[in-house]
A and B are shown apart, each in its own frame.
Chain A
């Protein structure tokens, strides 16, 4: 069934037919016809942001916490360019986002018209795909294709640029089913021969490890379920990247914790010493591999990834398997069961004994204090007081993000939203709003550093306006902590521009925004402050004054192998000297 309607109406109709319930956006001249249509309907809710970057991060939070694509509407020129950071963030972290941008009318394109920008040109490298629609008859189909591309295969952000005359003109609407999507059908089933070879290795491996990543979250809750079955049935240890936390429960028996630059000692040591590494939906990021030449030198490596370009990009693997990780795990289980559920029991027992030794290092230990709030302690208390709730966590970027990953436990997928690949300060606050919009009843907490938080703090207005009771848990060290740490360890303690000077009074700021706020600086008051934040009926800013010079450990200095990890301040001496040499 096709119908005649204006392009603007088509946009709204197509979004409805795609099941879209929320759009995050900001109006302007080039999208007024679409805003006019939004005004005249009640099915799609519009969240008015304060800055278009915030809109994209909200859509990311929405998408990551629901598994559905996030939708953004921005105007031409500055509206579109403000979305670029968010698009790049979503591309790096494989988050499905559909951005609709207005454009000057087709007959003005190329004339440097008012608020004209080459949006498809600017966003080409930071989207999975983008389109400029010049003909209203093509608009509906393009939107449907955009949703298809954003969500299929390796998810990612897409953008549709819609000139204003295309919005005004009439054309034929086509429903989703009639849209051609056959040319983009990434393969989901893995090669069964390769899977069988992997199972053979699993049967004999003495020191196997699962190294899982964001791909398991991307694949959907079924993949996490299958992963749990696979891990628990084989008894192999499992570690995950920052992006994959929650796919296997933190309370699970075989969980080693996060790996990588700030990952746990036992996880990194196990990666280094394993004889079989099974990468499920992770991409051998440089925060994981450290020095490539020394990365897990004695292991056979299998890599399951839906994106062929991820395989052999960084690390050469022995068993590449292109496919959806959920489908592949299902097949691994089938083959492994059919062949008699074999594992190398003696080998595994020795392996676990070794892992237990590594665990005794107690790599997350820190010097407690009863005078000053240690950031790690703040997170331990947050964990203790919130873990039994229906809880979602977002973060900003920096030390606090790493401590959150180390000290909070995630029992389910889609509950941990963080900017991993791009490391975008300013992600967490808007992302928390996006999560809260999707889960109005849940407890949504943004674990923030004060510097990151200031980058998109204007979105507090959005939270207040739309009654999104997001909790802003700011670990305030009055420093750009992660930068300060690197300067201490690698640049001879020359703290160039890593202070947070002239900070606002966060409690007054909360008052100014019309939300709750409190400050806490005594460890003895921390629990009450956290409870106050949780119980407050509305958005809340908790300014937690923490130790200013705490470093985040463990740390693998860049370019070092996994077994050369720094475990605490005492172990940093050499690194400090080496760092000093850089500038001399």
Chain B
């Protein structure tokens, strides 16, 4: 496109309309997708996102009903309201998908993520890391004389905040699970 010097918004020389038809603002939504846990189902969902150019900010999946072979995929995605609607409709038409819930619009939901942080250091920094971990209610799940591994659960924001604090204190590795979410109430 750039080679032809076609500006975004100019479309008269293209087979496609290069204009952005949705000059809307992006929103972040958390979707819960219930699927048959059959071979390739995750590839199908991920392929849908990459093939149609949708964003995945986080994705978690696990079988939640072993008898019924159902898995729950929690996807955090970003897009304009019409793109989000399209994502839900596209997910809904995949054959192994049973249900798509938009937890962001279907009323209040709880979102949790688990993360492990390795913090390496000695002296003051080490003590400070431990003190902050307590404030954040992170557990120490491994320790050596030079390092801790903290386990923390919370919203993605809380985990981000904890990461920011740990970085100057010797943070070397992070593992995050991505978001699991459920609607509140019955």
Contacts and interface: CB of A to CB of B under 8 A. Distances in A.
A313 B86 contact: yes
B19 interface: yes
Contact of A293 (B5, B21, B39, B51): B21
Contacts of A560: 12
Interface residues of A, number: 35
Interface string B1-27: 000111000011111111101000000
A578 B12 CA distance: 8
Contacts of A153: 93
Most buried by A among B5, B90, B95: B95
B170 interface: no
B13 A293 contact: no
Given A124-B47, A184-B95, A558 B82 contact: no
Given A309-B92, A560-B12, A292 B6 contact: no
Interface in B70-91: 82, 85-86, 89-90
A490 interface: yes
Contacts of A289: 17
B14 A558 contact: yes
A149 B95 contact: yes
A237 B176 CA distance: 59
Contacts of B86: 309, 312-313
Nearest to B11: A559
B40 interface: yes
Q: Which of B4, B13, B90, B98 has the most CB of A within 10 A?
A: B13
Contacts of B4: 582-583
A291 B13 contact: no
Interface string B84-124: 01100110111110100000000000000000000000000
Contact of B6 (A121, A316, A557, A582): A582
Interface in B37-93: 39-40, 43-44, 47, 51, 82, 85-86, 89-90, 92-93
A308 interface: yes
B38 to A, nearest CB: 8
Interface stretch (A56-64, A125-133, A226-234, A332-340): A125-133
A183 interface: yes
Given A149-B95, A309-B93, A313-B86, A557 B40 contact: no
A208 B3 CA distance: 43
B13 A578 contact: yes
Contacts of A149: 95
A301 B11 CA distance: 24
A579 B21 CA distance: 23
B36 interface: yes
Nearest to B20: A292
B81 to A, nearest CB: 10
A312 B85 contact: yes
Given A129-B95, A183-B36, A582-B4, A286 B17 contact: yes
B15 A125 contact: no
B14 A292 contact: no
Contacts of A311: 89
Chain B: number of interface residues, binned into ranges: 20 to 34
A309 B88 CA distance: 8
Contact of A292 (B5, B13, B21, B93): B21
Contact of B89 (A120, A184, A308, A583): A308
Nearest to B18: A559
A128 B98 CA distance: 16
A307 interface: yes
B90 A316 contact: no
Contacts of A582: 4-6, 13
A128 to B, nearest CB: 7
A291 B21 CA distance: 9
A397 to B, nearest CB: 13
Contacts of B19: 291-293, 559
Nearest to B10: A559
Interface in A110-131: 120-121, 124-125, 128-129
B18 to A, nearest CB: 7
A124 B43 contact: yes
Contacts of B40: 120-121, 124, 132
A286 B16 contact: yes
Contact of B95 (A120, A128, A309, A313): A128
Contacts of B90: 309
A316 B13 contact: no
A170 to B, nearest CB: 23
B93 A316 contact: no
Interface in A278-311: 286, 289-293, 307-309, 311
Q: Pick from A120, A125, A293 the residue with the most CB of B within 10 Å.
A: A125
A307 B47 CA distance: 19
Interface string A470-483: 00000000000000
Contacts of B95: 128-129, 149, 184
A340 to B, nearest CB: 36
A212 B62 CA distance: 43
Contacts of B94: 129
Given A124-B43, A583-B4, A312 B82 contact: yes
A193 B168 CA distance: 61
B92 A308 contact: yes
Contacts of A490: 13
A128 B94 CA distance: 8
Contacts of A557: 12
B82 A291 contact: no
A522 to B, nearest CB: 36
Nearest to B90: A309
Contacts of A312: 82, 85-86
Nearest to A154: B93
Interface in A527-581: 557-560, 578-579
A386 to B, nearest CB: 32
Given A121-B40, A313-B86, 8 more contacts: A120-B40, A124-B43, A153-B93, A293-B19, A307-B93, A579-B13, A582-B6, A582-B13
22 contacts: A124-B44, A129-B94, A129-B95, A132-B39, A153-B93, A286-B15, A291-B11, A307-B93, A308-B92, A309-B90, A309-B93, A312-B85, A313-B86, A316-B82, A490-B13, A557-B12, A558-B11, A558-B14, A558-B15, A559-B14, A559-B17, A578-B13
Interface of A: 120-121, 124-125, 128-129, 132, 149, 153-154, 183-184, 286, 289-293, 307-309, 311-314, 316, 490, 557-560, 578-579, 582-583
The 5 A-B pairs at the shortest CB distance, nearest first, are namely: A559-B11, A309-B89, A129-B95, A292-B21, A308-B89
